Amino acid sequence: MCGIVGFTGRHQAAPILLDGLSKLEYRGYDSAGIAVRDGEKETEIIKAKGRLKVLAEKTNGGESVPGTCGIGHTRWATHGEPSETNAHPHASDDGNVVAVHNGIIENYQELKEKLLRKGYSFYSATDTEVAVKLVDYYYKKYGESPIEAVNHAMVRIRGSYALA
């Protein structure tokens, strides 16, 4: 079982995300990562294989990552080996859709094939990247709100999962 945390507010997000993830460490994990948004700048994603301590060291306890809105994840691999590439958060190629995921997307192979036919490529072996790119696909296809894009993707995704 992995852990998911999210934060948005007036404080720097990264230290709060790391603190939240440390409270979920007892659930077990093989890698960890955070994504933080700083205004209009591109979302920054930092990941590490192994202990949360490695991620904390990479980010100076979160201090080196600016921004007040973010998500964090400790991963227990089900699809793809434990590695920095397969660690969450995962992102669409343009960085507009960024997500962490707990659980299993049972029909990820079928969805991946659909997206491959539409010209998408994949950098990881995870089912999660498929979910992210499916949201991206519907966002671009219908040009509606992000919530609508997530709704379209949820209609297609089967399994047990939590996403942020």
Which of residues 78 and 151 has its CB atom nearest to ligand GLU in the complex? 78
Which of residues 64 and 159 has its CB atom nearest to ligand GLU in the complex? 159
- Give dist(CA 131, CA 124) in Å, integer: 12
Q: Contact at 8 Å (CB) between 141 and 156?
A: no
Helix and strand totals (H; E) in the chain: 5, 8
DSSP annotation of 90: E
Q: How many CB atoms within 10 Å of residue 47?
A: 22
Which of residues 45 and 67 has its CB atom nearest to ligand GLU in the complex? 45
In the bound state, the residue with its beta carbon closest to ligand GLU is 2
- Give dist(CA 4, CA 117) in Å, integer: 31
Candidates 32-40, 47-55, 91-99, 101-109: pick the segment binding ligand GLU (CB under 6 A): 101-109
| Interface with ligand GLU: number of residues (CB under 6 A) | 15
Of residues 64 through 83, those in contact with ligand GLU by CB under 6 A are: 75-80
Q: Considering the complex, what minimum distance in angstroms separates the CB of residue 43 from ligand GLU?
A: 19
Candidates 37-45, 58-66, 126-134, 147-155: pick the segment binding ligand GLU (CB under 6 A): 126-134
Is the omega angle on the peptide bond into residue 89 within 30 degrees of 0, that is, cis? Answer: yes
Residues near ligand GLU (CB under 6 A): 2, 75-80, 86, 101-104, 126-128
